[in-house]
Amino acid sequence: MTPSKPIVPSAAPDPYKERILEAARELFTANGLEAVNMYAIAKRAGIGQGSLYRRFSDKGEICSLLLRDSTDRFLLSLENELALPQADKAALDHLRSSISRIVGFIEQHAELLQLIKSEFTGKKQLTQFEHPFFRRLNEFLTQLLRRAAAGGEISPVDPQFTATALIAVLSPDLYLYQMKQHGSTKEQITDGIFALFVTGIQKGQ
């Protein structure tokens, strides 16, 4: 039994992955996302294309992992709040503040998220909603909506569908479109979402 790897699996899970991510990060920051291809990443990492594709089937997966730290921290911070004891009737306020934070996150990483999404939906026959990030976000939002429903805060909507619809509206695609085509600000977009997904489903009034 070799004590180098089996004992601490997190210490060196795959040295190649690190080198690939390092190479990708360097090339991305130097040339932009679009200008970098898989061959160049393999070359830069000093490995063969086969070894690269064995780990990442496309650029989107590399970007996903580059964002992994950020997304994990972000999702965890959302999820942790969910575990805290809440005052009654606070779920909708909680939803409102979560949406604000999510829009902020989308804004911060719009370009990378957009590429991840297009690669993810392009190859594979998948929808954006099946990506781990959106899947986890969906679970979070569904739970929040269920809580609001249980507390009688909202009219009887389907929490699962509403969460998915909310994610569709929170997608980087819509964000980038509103910015580019209509010069919307982050605040305008957030308010627009509030109107539909907070005020709109609020019970009474």
Q: Does 47 bind DNA (CB under 7 A)?
A: yes
Token pair listed for 151: 């507390």
Using the rule CB under 7 A, which residue among 25, 31, 54, 101 binds DNA?
54
Q: Does 161 bind DNA (CB under 7 A)?
A: no
Q: Does 127 bind a second copy (CB under 8 A)?
A: yes
- Per-residue binder mask for a second copy (CB under 8 A), 142-181, x = binder: -------------x-xx-xxx-xx--xx-x-xx-xxx-xx
Q: Does 174 bind DNA (CB under 7 A)?
A: no
How many residues line the site for a second copy (CB under 8 A)?
A: 38
Q: Does 48 bind DNA (CB under 7 A)?
A: yes
Q: How many CA atoms lie within 13 A of 204 on its CB side?
A: 2
Alpha-carbon gap, residue 39 to 65, rounded angstroms: 18
Residue 194's alpha-carbon distances to 82, 139, 189, 198, 202, in angstroms, are: 20, 19, 9, 5, 11
Using the rule CB under 7 A, which residue among 18, 39, 77, 152 binds DNA?
39
Tell the residue number behind the tokens 């569904």, with chain if given: 142
DSSP secondary structure of 33-92: STT--HHHHHHHHTS-HHHHHHH-SSHHHHHHHHHHHHHHHHHHHHHHHHHS---TT-HH
Q: Does 38 bind DNA (CB under 7 A)?
A: yes
Q: Look up residue 5 and give its DSSP letter.
A: S
Q: Does 37 bind DNA (CB under 7 A)?
A: yes
DSSP secondary structure of 85-150: ---TT-HHHHHHHHHHHHHHHHHHHHHHHHHHHHHHHHSTT--GGGSHHHHHHHHHHHHHHHHHHH
Where in 56-95 is the site for DNA (CB under 7 A)?
57-59
By three-state DSSP, how is residue 183 classified?
coil
Closest CB to DNA among residues 121, 160 = 121
Using the rule CB under 8 A, which residue among 18, 22, 72, 130 binds a second copy?
130
Residue 51 binds which entry of a second copy, DNA, none, CB below 5-8 Å type-dependent? DNA
Site residues (vs a second copy, CB under 8 A)? 118, 121-122, 127-130, 155, 157-158, 160-162, 164-165, 168-169, 171, 173-174, 176-178, 180-182, 184, 188-189, 191-193, 195-197, 199-201
